[in-house]
Structure 1
């Protein structure tokens, strides 16, 4: 006769330990997100101040009204460009620096590691104002420094020209945050077992070929995580643009990102009154853009990355 299995008691202590984190996360993340989504389906009449339900009208205006669609698409393109600069400059250079720092006999690598990571600890406001002062054509030091190395003819008001402003700000952001991919890749490289490296050396795989054939393959999951973190961070960018170029993201909106157009729409700027409902619609679109990018990575890219036990 088979004895009946005793039901396992419900572990109430699990709920007790999880409850504080769930409550805090719900209050600061879930509820504001739900309220933003709800807010985007309403509109306030500018004359009577009456709030009425309009459904998807705010989204239709955002994507089809010429008054909204042109600045929105401009900021979306600028955001994509901002992200691509980071992907093509920041992450490859971060991998290169991490590979150099992982060399056993490199002198002073602790100093280099600390110096490169230091800008990451600075606030956006400090970085923005410092670089704005340095690149100023009136009192900045960049013009004199470029002249001293024979590049004076290449000097431009980098933040004052539409053609160069966004690229300049992208490179400033790269300079500030290159320490993050460097440290993550550096940690991944150090976690590779010595036995794997020794086996590769016994097979005659050394130097650069060892990095590309052995180490790079083993750290691909870490590179994937860095890429998605870069995507999320860049599509939430706001502080650096606001600090250096102001809420109008000049010159002539050439540095306008989704974050700055959201700020101007929600709070208003100069003669433009604030429209919180349209701002909520833009914030919701931003959320779904980021969610789509993360979902593509998790369900289509991450699954194809082979993870090796190290």
Structure 2
């Protein structure tokens, strides 16, 4: 009887742990004030509009305007297409380069590995203003150093005003962003590679599996969860992008809106720019659509990709 009472009291004590609430309360409070309440306010603002000088509930009317009005829908789909291309370049260029760098720098006995990691990671802590302004100077056809550097190796004919051409401006900015942030996937994958047990590596070497074959057959399957985390962080970060485009191309995202993404489209709509008046309700509508896109992508990863990765891993 005493043993049963002790087990019951133990179960009761495990159910109620007030210290958990105490530790979680500050984080939950700050997150609610900074994230949840603004999100609810934005969603609420998107359901209203100004009709004859007064706030009026319009339901999904703003969303119908965004997708149905040719003036709004053309700008939205242009921004969404540019944003998707911006994201794909990061996925197809930044993350594979980050994985390759992590694999090279995690090789035992690699000289100056820590110095290389530091040099690659430093751009990630630089301000967008510094990065954007510096690259505008580098790529300037008038006073930039890029034409001079290409001329010194006999390739000056390859230079073009990439930031000023509609066909190349967005890709150029995406590659600049890749240069700045490739250190993040590198470090995350590097940490995942270091967590692989040495016994597995030694067993693979005893079986004659070394070099690239070892990475492809042994290491890559073990770091797939980390690759998935890097991918979803890339998705969220790029569909929230704004700073680099704004610094280098301005709010109009020139030339001719060729670099316009959802962030700059939201900024112009909400706050207005030059002769365009701000519309907080349509701006909130665009922000709500951005939230739904990001939420859909995260849910797809969590309930689709992550579930399969866990099954594959175990």
* TM-score normalised by structure 1 residue count: 0.96
Q: Aligned pair 1:170/2:174, yes or no?
A: yes
Match of 1:228 among 216, 224, 232: 232
Counterpart of 1:196 in structure 2 is 200
Counterpart of 1:34 in structure 2 is 40
CA distance in 2, matches of 1:267, 1:89: 33
CA distance in 1, matches of 2:17, 2:259: 53
Secondary structure of residue in 2 paired with 1:162: coil
Match of 2:50 among 30, 33, 44: 44
For residues 111-156 of structure 1, give each alpha carbon's deviation from its aligned partner in whole angstroms, at most 9, with x where no partner exists: 1111001100101111011101111111111111111111100110
CA distance in 1, matches of 2:185, 2:134: 23
CA distance in 1, matches of 2:237, 2:96: 17
Match of 1:99 among 66, 86, 103: 103
Match of 2:190 among 178, 186, 191: 186
Q: Aligned pair 1:157/2:169, yes or no?
A: no
* TM-score normalised by structure 2 residue count: 0.94
CA distance in 2, matches of 1:126, 1:203: 50
The alpha carbon displacement at 1:11 in A equals 3.0
Q: How does 1:1-310 map to 2 (within 5 A)?
A: 5-6=8-9, 8=12, 10-45=16-51, 48-306=52-310, 308=313
Secondary structure of residue in 1 paired with 2:33: helix
Secondary structure of residue in 1 paired with 2:109: coil
Gaps of at least 5 residues in structure 2 are: none
CA distance in 1, matches of 2:90, 2:158: 23
Matched length: 307
Secondary structure of residue in 2 paired with 1:85: helix
The alpha carbon displacement at 1:13 in A equals 2.9
CA RMSD of aligned residues (A): 1.5
Secondary structure of residue in 2 paired with 1:52: strand
The alpha carbon displacement at 1:308 in A equals 4.8
The alpha carbon displacement at 1:254 in A equals 0.2
Secondary structure of residue in 2 paired with 1:51: strand
